């Protein structure tokens, strides 16, 4: 290989690695000893893989030890797991890969009964390993060093891809001279290539009995935003295990590669507006007496009346557990939610052509939502008063590494109002009572290749929890022969919007499905109640009114009663109540799930991607708690066929009344791209709420004090006119 090419190829791989991951390692002093580089790691040809580096200023996690039954595996524990797994001959072999190593959470009852100061329940790891093409699900007891459970997967689909899978996939096509030729024929220098590993979904033939992936490429020439320069119609089908190129589809040769002009989004590179724009002056939140939250032992968050356990997870991203709120009357901590997390994402593109039909991503189960969560940028991703939490994850060969600053926690004061009332002159009462709204935010941002998902869990001291998803990043675009809409024949459909010359933003959806194991005042006796608003007609002569709305309560007996499609003209509230507990005046205590702006999947139920993503067929589902039913698309999602989804579980129609129940909520977006989304998208957000309903005896934040100038730093608002 020519020296220059080698250099550029290396730079491309490097770039891709930094695009997809940022795998720093905590292992500065013991790297050699810990990283025994066996041949089965494809990217691991030298002793020290170049991306496993100690991040600057990162915290040292060597001394970490678990303090809580739900604390994630520590570096030391992961090293033990690696040793234990390696002690089994089958898993020492070349070709054995660890797809996932996480804490196997103790049974819920054990966690609920555990108290601070108690001995921790036995620490176990849940390991998904693949050896000779067979998937093994292992339970590893870290203390005894024994593998206590070992099953081979019986569902369709493969485990989450490893980061190493993704890296190999993007470099494997270069082994094919046909591929090289196709690229050169498009007028692209091989040195300028950037390729993406695209999960294939499942359509039947080519995905049968082998792990495959599709690779599509872009040119990096003259821009860092290679996503805007697609080599349209060129798709490489790869065997993910042998890295063999199975097929190269080279269509759309006549489609030009869009120009690099105006695609860069880096502040240092964009052309600064020549017109004078009013720049904002610096802004920041000050907390003169420090933050009001504490994080005990790195995972137990305490703020205002809330307490919850927080941890990073390679698949879900952020997991909130044991969320409890203090009752203002009794001072007792009351259970609200045992576990909440983003269980799966589904992102189908709406273009059935050869190079596009398969783009129907499931970012948690295929790519790892947490694995793709990059270090947050202090002052910009999170405000100055934020606390940062690192993730400790595991490479395919069992080596631990640290993803620094993966989650941030901060208090937000956005100038909003918690509650207020002022008396008007009619009553003449001199009353003006206002309370500022301060909330606590837990944030993560996952960059799944081009797209960025910002996931917030916002807690309010009035008991409300608001999960929120923001979409930003870069569109997945399609090359087009057109530079202006006036060239497009009236009957031609573009599958999207012409965003810039030769660039179409293809229409797509995003669905984020949340798993919410609600524990309203404890795990048992929870029920799901639809409170349906119905139009009631008055009898003739009864009232000057013809109609009014009546709230009709229906307790869901079984799962099918709780398969909910949202309807504006047949509205309901969705309550989770504890049927054993009543408020002072006799209402069942509860929390309600309050949908916000959302979207429903309109794809045909028999469309293969929709079958795999059947968990988006309803916006709300309720299942009985089952520790094996955590992942809405199933345990193994890659090339899954939809035989282990939430829809399949729910159709068993199990009883859900007076039980420990899980509410599943899907937050959806339809996205018809527009020019403002080019070359990078301003954030689009939506959220929903988990809100107390007759849970407290009265307004729980009556006793919070108003702001007073003496408590705040000297800082004057600009004089107003
Ligand atoms: C394809 O091009 C790359 C980059 O120049 C080179 O490293 C590789 O050897 C080429 N592949 C073949 C089969 O020639
Ligand atoms: C509450 O739950 C417990 C345990 O599941 C059950 O034994 C009891 O019957 C339930 N109470 C009511 C009122 O249903
Ligand atoms: C728990 O979930 C697993 C996986 O879906 C299922 O096989 C099992 O039957 C479920 N148990 C119950 C009691 O529903």
- Condensed to tens digits (0 to 9), the pLDDT of residues 98-135 reads 999 999 999 999 999 999 999 999 999 999 999 988 99
Predicted local confidence at residue 702, as pLDDT? 96
Q: Which of 295, 293, 222 is nearest to 259 (CA)?
A: 222
413: confidence class by pLDDT, cuts 50, 70, 90 = very high
Helix/strand/coil for 185:
helix
Q: Max CA-CA distance within the chain?
A: 94
Predicted local confidence at residue 54, as pLDDT? 46
Predicted local confidence at residue 52, as pLDDT? 45
Kindly report each contact of residues 703-706 with a partner whose C-beta sits within 8 Å and lies 24 or more positions away, as own/partner.
703/328, 704/418, 704/435, 704/461, 705/435, 706/433, 706/434, 706/435, 706/436
Q: Is the pLDDT of residue 602 over 50?
A: yes
Residues in contact with ligand 1 (CB, 6 Å cut-off): 1, 5, 9, 174-177, 180, 190
719: confidence class by pLDDT, cuts 50, 70, 90 = low
The three-point CA angle 156-249-641 to 5° equals 15
What share of the chain has pLDDT > 90, as a percent? 82
Give the closest residue (by CA) to ligand 3 atom 11.
626
CATH of domain 164-250: 3.10.450.40
Q: Residue 95 — left, alpha, or beta (φ > 0 → left; ψ -120 to 50 → alpha)?
A: left
Cβ–Cβ < 8 Å for 76, 130? no
Q: Is the pLDDT of residue 384 over 50?
A: yes
Judged by its nearest atom, the ligand closest to the C-alpha of residue 154 is 3
Predicted local confidence at residue 717, as pLDDT? 57
Q: Which of 478, 437, 527 is nearest to 258 (CA)?
A: 478
Q: Which of 513, 446, 471, 473 is nearest to 688 (CA)?
A: 513
Q: Which of 689, 668, 663 is nearest to 598 (CA)?
A: 668
Give the closest residue (by CA) to ligand 2 atom 10.
525
User: How many C-beta atoms surround the C-beta of residue 67 within 10 A?
Assistant: 14
Cβ–Cβ < 8 Å for 703, 696? no
Nearest atom of ligand 3 to the alpha carbon of 652: 14
451, 453, 511, 665: the active-site residue: 451
Q: Is the pLDDT of residue 6 over 50?
A: no
Give the closest residue (by CA) to ligand 1 atom 1.
174
Predicted local confidence at residue 31, as pLDDT? 31
Query: Is residue 665 annotated as part of the catalytic site, yes or no?
Result: no
- Beta strand 97-103 with 124-131: parallel, antiparallel or unpaired? antiparallel
Q: 631: Cβ below 6 Å to ligand 3?
A: no
* CB burial of residue 272 (10 Å; 0-12, 13-18, 19+): exposed
Query: 433 forms bridges with which residues in the sheet?
Result: 421
Cβ–Cβ < 8 Å for 153, 135? yes
Rounded to an integer, what is the distance from CA 226 to the centroid of its chain?
Answer: 24
Q: 46: Cβ below 6 Å to ligand 3?
A: no
User: How many C-beta atoms surround the C-beta of residue 94 within 10 A?
Assistant: 9
Q: Is the pLDDT of residue 468 over 90?
A: yes
58: confidence class by pLDDT, cuts 50, 70, 90 = low
Question: Which two three-digit tokens encode residue 512?
Answer: 């984020």
**Ligand 2 mean position, distance from CA 525 (Å):** 6
User: How many C-beta atoms surround the C-beta of residue 464 within 10 A?
Assistant: 17
User: DSSP of 563-606, one letter per residue?
Assistant: -B---TTS-EEEEEEEEEEE-TTSPEEEEEEE--S-----S-TT
**Ligand 1 mean position, distance from CA 180 (Å):** 6
pTM above 0.85, yes or no: yes
Helix/strand/coil for 170:
helix
Give the closest residue (by CA) to ligand 1 atom 7.
1
CA atoms within 13 A on the CB side of 438: 18
Per-residue pLDDT of 668-706, as tens digits, reads 999 999 999 999 999 999 999 999 999 999 999 999 999
Q: What share of the chain is helix, strand, coil (3-state, %, to 5)?
A: 15, 40, 50
92: confidence class by pLDDT, cuts 50, 70, 90 = confident
Q: 525: Cβ below 6 Å to ligand 2?
A: yes
Cβ–Cβ < 8 Å for 413, 388? no
Query: How far is Cα 78 from Cα 61, in angstroms, rounded to an integer?
Result: 12
Question: Which two three-digit tokens encode residue 418?
Answer: 């918690």
Q: 524: Cβ below 6 Å to ligand 2?
A: yes
Dihedral sign for Cα atoms in the order 582, 587, 588, 594: negative
Cβ-Cβ contacts under 8 Å for 33 (sequence gap 6 or more): none
Judged by its nearest atom, the ligand closest to the C-alpha of residue 652 is 3
| Cis peptide bond prior to 679, omega within 30° of 0 | yes
**Ligand 3 mean position, distance from CA 656 (Å):** 14
Q: Which of 512, 524, 506 is nearest to 665 (CA)?
A: 512
Q: Which of 131, 74, 120 is nearest to 101 (CA)?
A: 74
Q: 626: Cβ below 6 Å to ligand 3?
A: yes
Q: What is the DSSP letter of 7?
A: H
Ligand 1 mutation target, pool 180, 186, 243, most atoms within 8 A of CB: 180
Q: 628: Cβ below 6 Å to ligand 3?
A: yes
Per-residue pLDDT, averaged over 164-174, amounts to: 95
Across the chain, what does the average pLDDT equal? 90
Per-residue pLDDT, averaged over 338-359, amounts to: 98
Q: 154: Cβ below 6 Å to ligand 3?
A: no
* CB burial of residue 217 (10 Å; 0-12, 13-18, 19+): buried
Query: How far is Cα 155 from Cα 643, in angstroms, rounded to an integer?
Result: 7
Predicted local confidence at residue 711, as pLDDT? 81
Give the closest residue (by CA) to ligand 3 atom 5.
629
Query: 452 forms bridges with which residues in the sheet?
Result: 447, 472
CA distances from 130 to 277, 465, 469, 683 (A): 56, 39, 33, 38
Predicted local confidence at residue 94, as pLDDT? 76
Per-residue pLDDT, averaged over 622-648, amounts to: 97
Predicted local confidence at residue 714, as pLDDT? 67
Rounded to an integer, what is the distance from CA 656 to the centroid of its chain?
Answer: 27
Beta strands in 224-305 (DSSP E): 230-239, 245-250, 293-296, 300-303
Q: Which of 457, 471, 371, 365 is nearest to 408 (CA)?
A: 457
Q: Is the pLDDT of residue 17 over 70?
A: no
User: How many C-beta atoms surround the C-beta of residue 622 within 10 A?
Assistant: 27
Give the closest residue (by CA) to ligand 1 atom 12.
177
Alpha helix stretches (DSSP H) within 613-685: 646-650
Predicted local confidence at residue 2, as pLDDT? 39
**Ligand 2 mean position, distance from CA 561 (Å):** 20
Higher pLDDT, 95 or 161: 161
Predicted local confidence at residue 494, as pLDDT? 98
At how many degrees (to 10) do helices 163-171 and 3-20 cross?
150
Q: 284: Cβ below 6 Å to ligand 3?
A: no
Query: Is residue 387 annotated as part of the catalytic site, yes or no?
Result: no
Nearest atom of ligand 1 to the alpha carbon of 1: 7
Give the closest residue (by CA) to ligand 1 atom 8.
174
Q: Is the pLDDT of residue 720 over 70?
A: no
Per-residue pLDDT of 18-53, as tens digits, reads 333 333 333 333 333 233 333 223 333 333 333 344
Per-residue pLDDT of 297-345, as tens digits, reads 999 999 999 999 999 999 999 999 999 999 999 999 999 999 999 999 9
363, 509, 644, 677: the active-site residue: 363
Nearest atom of ligand 1 to the alpha carbon of 177: 13
Per-residue pLDDT of 507-563, as tens digits, reads 999 999 999 999 999 999 999 999 999 999 999 999 999 999 999 999 999 999 999
User: What is the total residue count of the chain?
Assistant: 721
Higher pLDDT, 411 or 281: 411
Predicted local confidence at residue 356, as pLDDT? 98
**Ligand 2 mean position, distance from CA 658 (Å):** 6
Q: Where in the chain is the domain with CATH 3.10.450.40?
A: 2-153, 164-250
Question: Which two three-digit tokens encode residue 146?
Answer: 């024994």
Cβ-Cβ contacts under 8 Å for 171 (sequence gap 6 or more): 9, 13, 195
Q: Is the pLDDT of residue 414 over 90?
A: yes
Cβ–Cβ < 8 Å for 411, 437? no
Q: How far is the first Cα of the chain from the last one, in angstroms, to the nearest whole number?
A: 70
CA atoms within 13 A on the CB side of 60: 6
Architecture of domain 2-153: Roll (3.10)
**Phi, psi for 548 (deg, rounded to 5):** -155, 175
């Amino acid at each position: 290989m020519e020296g220059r090419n080698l250099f550029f190829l290396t730079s491309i791989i490097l770039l891709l690695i930094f695009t997809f991951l940022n795998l720093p390692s905590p292992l500065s002093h013991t790297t050699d000893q810990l990283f025994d580089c066996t041949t089965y790691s494809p990217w691991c040809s030298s002793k020290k893989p170049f991306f496993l580096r100690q991040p600057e200023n990162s915290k040292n996690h060597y001394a970490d030890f678990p303090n809580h039954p739900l604390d994630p595996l520590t570096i030391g524990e992961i090293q033990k797991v690696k040793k234990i797994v390696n002690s089994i001959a089958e898993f020492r072999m070349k070709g054995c890969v660890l797809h996932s190593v996480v804490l196997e959470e103790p049974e819920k009852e054990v966690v609920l009964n555990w108290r601070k100061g108690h001995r921790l329940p036995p620490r176990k790891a849940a390991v998904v390993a693949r050896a000779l093409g067979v998937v093994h699900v292992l339970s590893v007891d870290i203390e005894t060093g024994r593998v206590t459970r070992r099953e081979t997967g019986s569902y369709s689909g493969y485990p989450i891809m490893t980061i190493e899978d993704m890296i190999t996939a993007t470099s494997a096509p270069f082994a094919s001279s046909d591929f090289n030729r196709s690229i050169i024929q498009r007028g692209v220098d091989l040195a300028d290539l950037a390729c993406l590993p695209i999960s294939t979904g499942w359509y039947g033939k080519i995905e049968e009995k082998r792990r495959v992936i599709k690779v599509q490429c872009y040119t990096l020439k003259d821009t860092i935003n290679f996503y805007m320069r697609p080599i349209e119609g060129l798709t490489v089908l790869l065997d993910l295990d042998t890295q063999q190129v199975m097929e190269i589809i080279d269509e759309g040769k006549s489609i030009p590669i869009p120009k690099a002009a105006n695609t860069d989004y880096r502040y240092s590179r964009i052309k600064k507006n020549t017109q004078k724009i009013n720049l904002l002056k610096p802004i920041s939140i000050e907390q003169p007496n420090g933050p009001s939250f504490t994080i005990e032992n790195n995972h137990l968050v305490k703020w205002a009346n809330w307490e919850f356990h927080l941890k990073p997870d390679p698949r879900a991203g952020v997991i909130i557990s044991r969320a409890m709120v203090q009752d203002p009357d009794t001072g007792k901590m009351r259970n609200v939610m045992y576990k909440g997390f983003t269980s799966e994402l589904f992102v189908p593109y709406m273009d059935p052509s050869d190079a596009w039909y398969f783009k129907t991503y499931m970012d948690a189960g295929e790519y790892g939502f947490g694995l793709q969560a990059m270090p947050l940028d202090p002052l910009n991703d999170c405000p100055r008063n934020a606390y940062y939490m690192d993730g400790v994850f595991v490479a395919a060969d069992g080596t631990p590494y640290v993803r620094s600053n993966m989650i941030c926690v901060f208090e937000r004061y956005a100038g909003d109002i918690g509650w207020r009332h002022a008396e008007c002159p009619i009553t003449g009462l001199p009353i003006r009572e206002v309370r500022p709204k301060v909330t606590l935010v837990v944030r993560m941002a996952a960059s799944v290749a081009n797209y960025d998902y910002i996931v917030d869990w916002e807690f309010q001291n009035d008991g409300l929890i608001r999960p929120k998803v923001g979409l930003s990043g870069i569109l997945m675009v399609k090359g087009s022969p057109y530079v202006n809409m006036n060239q497009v024949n009236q009957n031609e459909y573009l599958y999207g919007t012409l965003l810039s010359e030769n660039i179409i933003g293809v229409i797509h959806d995003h669905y984020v499905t949340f798993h919410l194991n609600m524990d309203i005042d404890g795990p048992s006796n929870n029920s799901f109640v639809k409170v349906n608003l119905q139009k009631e007609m008055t009898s003739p002569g009864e009232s000057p009114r013809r109609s009014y709305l009546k709230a009709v309560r229906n307790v869901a007996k079984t799962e099918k009663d709780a398969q909910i499609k949202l309807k504006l003209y047949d509205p309901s509230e969705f309550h989770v109540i504890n049927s054993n507990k009543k408020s002072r005046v006799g209402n069942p205590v509860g929390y309600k799930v309050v949908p916000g702006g959302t979207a429903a999947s309109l794809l045909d139920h028999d469309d293969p991607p929709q079958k795999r993503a059947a968990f988006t067929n309803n916006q709300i589902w309720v299942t009985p708690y089952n520790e094996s039913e955590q992942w809405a698309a199933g345990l193994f999602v890659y090339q899954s066929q939809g035989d282990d989804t939430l829809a399949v579980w729910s159709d068993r129609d199990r009883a859900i009344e007076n039980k420990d129940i899980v509410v599943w909520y899907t937050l959806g977006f339809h996205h018809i791209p527009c020019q403002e989304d080019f070359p990078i998208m301003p954030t689009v957000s939506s959220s929903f709420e988990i809100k107390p309903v007759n849970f407290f005896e009265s307004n729980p934040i009556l006793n919070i004090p108003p702001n007073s100038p003496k408590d705040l730093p000297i800082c004057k608002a600009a004089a107003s006119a």
